[in-house]
A and B are shown apart, each in its own frame.
Chain A
Amino acid sequence: MSWLSRLNPRGPGTRTGRHAAPTSPCTADPETCLMVFENHWRQVSRVLKQRESSVGGYADDLTAVRNHTDQMLCLLAEERPAGGDIDSPVGPILKMVVAENILDELVQWHVRRGLDPDSQLELLKLFEMLIGQSHQPLLLHSAVLQPLLNLLGACVDPQLGSPPALESSLVLLLNQVCVCMAKETAVLELIFRCGLVQQGPTNLLIFSLLVPFIHRDGSLGQQARDALLLVMATSASNHSVARHIAENSYFCPVLATGLSALYSSLPRKIEVRGDDWHALRREDWMAVSSLVLFMNSLEFCNAVVQVAHPLVRCQLLDYLHNGFLVPVMGPALHKSSVDEMIASTAYLDLFLRSITETSLLKTFLRFILLHRHDNDTILDTLLTRISSNSRLCMVSLSLFKTLLSLNCEDLMLQLVLRYLLPCTHVMLSQRRAVRETDLYGKSADKFLSLIPECCRITPAPSSERDDEPAFWGKVLGSPTSESPVHPRPSTPSRLALFIRQQSSGGQAIPPSSGSENAPSSPRGSVSSPLSPDSPVHQLPDTSEGETGYLEYLRDARKGIELCSWACRDWSAPYDGENPSPNSAPPPPPPPTSHPSLNMVQEHFSIMDRPQQRGAVVAAARAEWSSSDRDSGEWDVTISKNCISLTPRSKKRSLLSSSIPLQSSSSASVSTEMTGAVETVSQHSHSAPHTALYNGMGQVELTDSVDEKMEVKKVKRDSDVNNSMVESGMNGSMGIGSVDYNDFHVGSTMKSSQVQVKPHLQHQTSVPTSTQECLESESQRLSPVPALTETSTVPCDSRGPESVERLIEELLERAPSEPLTGDSKCQGISIEAFHQELRELEERVRERRVLSRSSEESSREYRTAPTPSLTDEDCLPVEIEQRSSETKPESYATGVFSPARPLGPPLAQPYTGPFITVLFSKLESMMQNSLYVNILLTGVVFQLACYPQPLLRSFLLNTNMVFQPSVKSLIQVLGSVKNRIEAFAATHEDFPAMLRKARRFLVARGKLDWSDSPIGVPTLRRSDSLIKSRKPSLGDLILRHTNSPTRARHAAQLALAHVRDGGQSLHSALFRGGAAGGASGLEKQAEALRVKNAVYCAVIFSEFLKELAALAQEHSVALPFPPSQGAEE
Chain B
Amino acid sequence: MLRIRWSLICPAHPPFGKKQLPSIPKNAVPITKAASPASSTESANGTHASYGPFYLEYSLLAEFTLVIKQRLPGIYVQPSYRSTLMWFGVIFIRHGLYQDGVFKFTVYIPDNFPDGDCPRVIFDTPVFHPLVDSVSGELDVRRAFTKWRRNHNHIWQVLMYARTIFYKINTMDPLNPEAVVLYDKDFQLFKSKVVDSVKLCNSHLFDQPKIDDPFAISFSPWNPAVHEEAKDKMFAYKRLHKDYNKGPLVSGLSWVKPGSTQPFSKEDIPLQT
Residues of A at under 8 Å CB distance from B?
A: 310, 314, 317-318, 321-322, 356-359, 361-363, 365-366, 369-370, 405-411, 413-414, 417-418, 421, 437-442, 444-445, 448-449, 529-536, 538-539, 542-543, 545-546, 549, 553, 558, 561-562, 565-572, 579, 583-585, 700, 703-704, 707, 1108, 1112, 1115-1118, 1120-1121, 1127-1128
Give me 21 A-to-B residue pairs in the complex whose CB atoms sit less than 8 angstroms apart, sorted by A's number. Answer: A317-B271, A318-B273, A405-B249, A409-B253, A421-B261, A440-B59, A441-B58, A445-B51, A449-B47, A536-B53, A545-B50, A549-B51, A562-B244, A566-B244, A566-B251, A567-B252, A571-B256, A700-B151, A1115-B62, A1116-B65, A1118-B65
What total count of A-B pairs have CB within 8 Å?
A: 222
Quote the shortest CB–CB distance from A2 to chain B (angstroms).
Answer: 11
Q: Give every chain A residue within 8 A of B270 (Cβ-Cβ).
A: 314
A535 with B56: CB separation less than 8 A: yes
Interface mask (B150-173 → A, CB under 8 Å = 1, otherwise 0): 111000000000000000000000
Q: Give every chain B residue within 8 A of A532 (Cβ-Cβ).
A: 81
Distance, CA A1121 to CA B45, complexed state (A): 33
8 Å CB interface, B232-273 against A: 239, 241, 243-244, 247-264, 266, 269-273
Distance, CA A1079 to CA B114, complexed state (A): 60
Distance, CA A703 to CA B115, complexed state (A): 14
| Least CB separation from B272: chain A residue | A318
B5 within 8 A of A: no
Given contacts A441-B54, A531-B83, A584-B261, 12 further A-B contacts (CB under 8 A): A413-B263, A440-B114, A444-B54, A445-B48, A553-B54, A562-B244, A566-B251, A569-B254, A571-B266, A703-B149, A1115-B61, A1117-B65
Distance, CA A561 to CA B262, complexed state (A): 26
B81 with A531: CB separation less than 8 A: yes
Quote the shortest CB–CB distance from A362 to chain B (angstroms).
Answer: 6
A310 with B269: CB separation less than 8 A: yes
Quote the shortest CB–CB distance from A539 to chain B (angstroms).
Answer: 7
Q: Give every chain B residue within 8 A of A703 (Cβ-Cβ).
A: 149-152
Distance, CA A439 to CA B150, complexed state (A): 9
Q: Given A440-B114, A444-B51, A539-B53, A568–B261 Cβ distance below 8 Å?
A: no
For B81, B253, B273, the residue with the greatest tally of chain A CB atoms inside 10 Å of its CB is B253
B208 within 8 A of A: no
| Least CB separation from A544: chain B residue | B50
A535 with B250: CB separation less than 8 A: no
| Least CB separation from A439: chain B residue | B62
B231 within 8 A of A: no
Q: Given A322-B273, A533-B81, A565-B252, A445–B243 Cβ distance below 8 Å?
A: no
Q: Give every chain A residue within 8 A of B69 (Cβ-Cβ).
A: 1118
Q: Give every chain B residue within 8 A of A410 (Cβ-Cβ).
A: 253-256, 263-264
Quote the shortest CB–CB distance from B155 to chain A (angstroms).
Answer: 11
Distance, CA A409 to CA B252, complexed state (A): 8
Q: Give every chain B residue within 8 A of A417 (Cβ-Cβ).
A: 261
For B4, B33, B54, the residue with the greatest tally of chain A CB atoms inside 10 Å of its CB is B54
B50 with A546: CB separation less than 8 A: yes
Q: Given A414-B263, A566-B252, A1120–B151 Cβ distance below 8 Å?
A: no
Quote the shortest CB–CB distance from B78 to chain A (angstroms).
Answer: 10
Q: Give every chain A residue within 8 A of B263 (Cβ-Cβ).
A: 369-370, 409-411, 413-414
B9 within 8 A of A: no
For B152, B264, B270, the residue with the greatest tally of chain A CB atoms inside 10 Å of its CB is B264
| Least CB separation from A413: chain B residue | B263
A441 with B59: CB separation less than 8 A: yes
B54 with A549: CB separation less than 8 A: yes
A366 with B55: CB separation less than 8 A: no
| Least CB separation from B258: chain A residue | A571
Q: Is chain B's interface secondary structure helix, strand, loop, or mixed overall?
A: loop
Quote the shortest CB–CB distance from A635 to chain B (angstroms).
Answer: 32
Q: Given A408-B254, A441-B45, A571-B256, A704–B151 Cβ distance below 8 Å?
A: yes
Q: Give every chain B residue within 8 A of A538 (Cβ-Cβ).
A: 34, 53
**Residue in contact with B253 in the complex, picked from A358, A530, A553, CB distance below 8 Å:** A358
B40 within 8 A of A: yes
Q: Give every chain B residue within 8 A of A534 (Cβ-Cβ).
A: 34, 57, 83-84
Interface mask (B25-53 → A, CB under 8 Å = 1, otherwise 0): 00000000111010010001111101101
Q: Give every chain A residue within 8 A of B57 (Cβ-Cβ).
A: 530, 534-536
Q: Give every chain A residue within 8 A of B48 (Cβ-Cβ).
A: 445, 448-449
**Residue in contact with A561 in the complex, picked from B81, B241, B251, CB distance below 8 Å:** B241
Q: Give every chain B residue within 8 A of A406 (Cβ-Cβ).
A: 249, 253
| Least CB separation from A700: chain B residue | B151
Q: Give every chain B residue within 8 A of A571 (Cβ-Cβ).
A: 254, 256-260, 266
Residues of B at under 8 Å CB distance from A?
A: 1, 4, 33-35, 37, 40, 44-48, 50-51, 53-59, 61-66, 68-69, 79-84, 114, 149-152, 215, 239, 241, 243-244, 247-264, 266, 269-273
| Least CB separation from A321: chain B residue | B273
Q: Give every chain A residue within 8 A of B215 (Cβ-Cβ).
A: 531
| Least CB separation from B246: chain A residue | A1016
Distance, CA A1120 to CA B50, complexed state (A): 32
**Residue in contact with A439 in the complex, picked from B59, B253, B261, B271, CB distance below 8 Å:** B59
Q: Give every chain A residue within 8 A of B273 (Cβ-Cβ).
A: 318, 321-322, 366
A1116 with B58: CB separation less than 8 A: yes
**Residue in contact with B83 in the complex, picked from A318, A405, A533, A579, CB distance below 8 Å:** A533
A408 with B65: CB separation less than 8 A: no
B256 with A570: CB separation less than 8 A: yes
A439 with B256: CB separation less than 8 A: no
| Least CB separation from B55: chain A residue | A441
Q: Give every chain A residue within 8 A of B247 (Cβ-Cβ).
A: 356
Distance, CA A585 to CA B262, complexed state (A): 9
Distance, CA A538 to CA B69, complexed state (A): 28
Quote the shortest CB–CB distance from A560 to chain B (angstroms).
Answer: 12
B50 with A1127: CB separation less than 8 A: no
Q: Give every chain B residue within 8 A of A370 (Cβ-Cβ).
A: 263-264
A566 with B55: CB separation less than 8 A: no
Distance, CA A539 to CA B270, complexed state (A): 57
Q: Given A445-B48, A534-B83, A549-B54, A409–B65 Cβ distance below 8 Å?
A: no
Q: Given A440-B45, A546-B50, A1121–B239 Cβ distance below 8 Å?
A: yes
**Residue in contact with B34 in the complex, picked from A363, A437, A441, A533, CB distance below 8 Å:** A533
| Least CB separation from B1: chain A residue | A1121
| Least CB separation from A1109: chain B residue | B54
Q: Give every chain A residue within 8 A of B65 (Cβ-Cβ).
A: 1115-1118
| Least CB separation from B45: chain A residue | A445
| Least CB separation from A402: chain B residue | B249
For A438, A535, A707, the residue with the greatest tally of chain B CB atoms inside 10 Å of its CB is A535
A545 with B252: CB separation less than 8 A: no
Q: Give every chain B residue within 8 A of A445 (Cβ-Cβ).
A: 45-48, 51, 55
Can you list the 10 inter-chain pairs with the closest CB atoms, starting with the nearest? A566-B252, A535-B53, A410-B263, A441-B55, A409-B254, A408-B253, A1116-B61, A1115-B62, A571-B258, A571-B256
Q: Given A536-B53, A1117-B65, A413–B261 Cβ distance below 8 Å?
A: yes
Distance, CA A1108 to CA B51, complexed state (A): 10
**Residue in contact with A529 in the complex, picked from B51, B61, B239, B251, CB distance below 8 Å:** B61
B271 with A321: CB separation less than 8 A: yes
Q: Give every chain A residue within 8 A of B251 (Cβ-Cβ).
A: 358, 566, 1127-1128
A444 with B62: CB separation less than 8 A: no
Distance, CA A566 to CA B40, complexed state (A): 36
Distance, CA A546 to CA B51, complexed state (A): 7
Q: Give every chain A residue within 8 A of B64 (Cβ-Cβ).
A: 529, 1116
Quote the shortest CB–CB distance from A865 to chain B (angstroms).
Answer: 30
Q: Give every chain A residue within 8 A of B151 (Cβ-Cβ).
A: 439-440, 700, 703-704, 707
A440 with B150: CB separation less than 8 A: yes
Quote the shortest CB–CB distance from A576 to chain B (angstroms).
Answer: 13
Distance, CA A321 to CA B33, complexed state (A): 63
Quote the shortest CB–CB distance from B122 to chain A (angstroms).
Answer: 20
| Least CB separation from B68: chain A residue | A1118
Quote the shortest CB–CB distance from A1013 to chain B (angstroms).
Answer: 15
A356 with B266: CB separation less than 8 A: no
Q: Give every chain B residue within 8 A of A409 (Cβ-Cβ).
A: 252-256, 263
